[in-house]
Amino acid sequence: MELTVTNFIFAALAALAAGAINALAGGGTLITFPVLTFLGVPAVAANVTNTVALCPGYFGGTLAQMKDLQGQTKRLWIVIPASIIGGIIGGFLLLRTGEKIFKDLVPYLILLASGLLAIQDPVRAWLTRRLGEGHGSRLEKISWLPVGLASIYGGYFGAGLSVIVLSALGLTLEDSLTRLNALKQAISFSVNVAAAIFFVFSGKVLWPVALVMAVGALIGGTLGGKLAGKVKPSTLRWTVVTIGVVVSVIYFLK
């Protein structure tokens, strides 16, 4: 499909906003995916392109939390393979869904992602309370199972993945929320890269758009990092949730 210069500008601005939102609160996909579809990009191609374009942002987030991953090598060997396999399975299911069916699923997926983003604070509060009281189940050896299931969703759509992964980790691991957050970031990066590599050979990636968005996401992520502490994450999160609900209603009406 042919895109105008204006289309590329809109895509870049959406990616910049998504990069900043992901750095501050999460949920950037709820901005970029609808923008791509509103620009006329087919739903499956928009999702595939979005996954590829936002990978650099996840890489930056993982690097930023490397110090909190120290001492978690054993866990990484358990959950990263599961996240890679899950991401590939999710990507495979997406490409086998078909344009019409996926387009029909889009409003429900956006509503689901908005709901996941909305419960991020309660999830964090539950994890903090549970870990603080020492009620963890110490089931590290099977942590690959909930992480793998979450990763399938991430490879299929991705929005709200961080909340699902954090909850999955809290079910099987006992540690500080900071260290679990770092582990969550590494898992999210692995899921997106695995799905993105799978998508590279699908013929669905709009490479000019993906490259422009990747640059925008990197810049947005950098700006978001500098704004951390100056912008209240909960305010931004609820703004994104509201946008997601409005967008899903628009899709339903369409």
pLDDT tens-place string over residues 17-29: 888 887 776 788 8
pLDDT mean over 213-220: 88
CA 171 – CA 166 distance, rounded (Å): 9
Q: What is the DSSP string of 33-99?
A: HHHHHHTT--HHHHHHHHHHHTHHHHHHHHHHTGGGGTT-HHHHHHHHHHHHHHHHHHHHHHHHH-H
Kindly report the CA angle at 181 between 178 and 183, in degrees rounded to 5?
115
Taking the domains of the chain in order of start, what are their residue ranges? 5-253
What pLDDT digit, counting tens, does each position of 42-80 carry?
Answer: 999 999 999 998 888 777 777 777 888 888 888 899 999
pLDDT of residue 85: 96
Residue 108, helix vs strand vs coil: helix
pLDDT over 70 for what percent of the chain? Answer: 92
Mean pLDDT of the chain: 85
Q: Which of 161 and 227 is assigned the larger pLDDT?
A: 161
Tokens 């992480």 correspond to: 147
pLDDT band at 208 (very low <50, low <70, confident <90, very high): very high
Please give the Cα distance from 129 to 174 (Å, whole number): 12
Exposure string for 24-55, b = 16+ CB within 10 A, e = fewer = bbbbbbbbbbbbbbebebbbbbbbbbbbbbbb
Q: Is 101 exposed, middle or buried (0-12, 13-18, 19+ CB in 10 A)?
A: exposed
pLDDT of residue 131: 65
Question: Which of 22-31, 74-83, 140-149, 243-252 comes out lowest in average pLDDT?
Answer: 22-31
Give 86-134 pLDDT, tens digit per residue: 999 999 999 999 888 998 998 899 898 888 878 877 877 777 776 666 5
Average of per-residue pLDDT across 128-157: 79
User: If you average pLDDT over each of 10-14, 138-142, 240-244, which comes out highest?
Assistant: 10-14
Nearest CA to 42 out of 90, 1, 91 is that of: 1
